[in-house]
Amino acid sequence: MQAGRVEAIIAPEVIGVKAELEGFGKILEHAVDYFGHYQHSFIFATNRFIKEKPEAVRAFLAAYRKTLEYIKAHPDEAIQFAVTELQQDEKPYTKVYQKEIPNWNTTGKVDFEGTDNAIKILKELGDIAPDVKITAKQIVNEQFLTK
């Protein structure tokens, strides 16, 4: 977009915010406005890995939750990481993270409705065959969920 070779893109919000801040683009719509309520982040493991190393899965999920909790308490460090380690511009990350980080779920619970909606969206987009019968309850291994 900046170079003038394309007129529109689908991109992460931070790219859209950067385009607006630098004056070369405008966010037309957020994915949630188009698709509705859906879960878009997942953690995957093979059934074999889960069976053979359940404690590794539990340890990973616990560390992941602790990481999210830490970042929620120290969002400035996440922004600095994006700037120094990823060589990103600070302003877009600051704007996006100030809005997103406070809403991060640190409970370890799965959004089953959002996951079912994600499956529906993937079928509509052709990423999952429309005749596949699958639900969030079938693909989420609940043994590791917070009760």
pLDDT of residue 35: 86
Number of separate domains in the chain: 1
Expressed as residue numbers, the domain containing 126 is 13-144
- 88 lies in a domain? yes
With a cut of 80, say whether residue 41 has pLDDT above it.
yes
User: Is residue 33 a part of any domain in this protein?
Assistant: yes
Neighbours of 78 (CB within 10 A): 18
Answer yes or no: is 6 within a domain.
Answer: no
CB-based contacts of 97, cutoff 8 Å, min separation 6: 75, 78, 79
40 confidence band (pLDDT: 50, 70, 90):
confident
The model's pLDDT over 17-31, given as tens digits with 9 standing for 90+, comes to: 999 999 999 999 988
In a domain, 3, yes or no: no
- Residue 147, pLDDT score: 64
Residue 95 in any domain: the answer is yes
How large is the angle between the packed helices 75-84 and 54-73, nearest 10 degrees?
A: 100
- pLDDT confidence of residue 86: 93
CA-based nearest residue to 71, from 88, 39, 93 = 93
* DSSP tag of 2: T
In a domain, 60, yes or no: yes
pTM of the model: 0.77
Position 5 in a domain: no
pLDDT digits (tens, 9 = 90+) for 49-108: 999 999 999 999 999 999 999 999 999 999 999 999 999 999 999 999 999 999 998 988
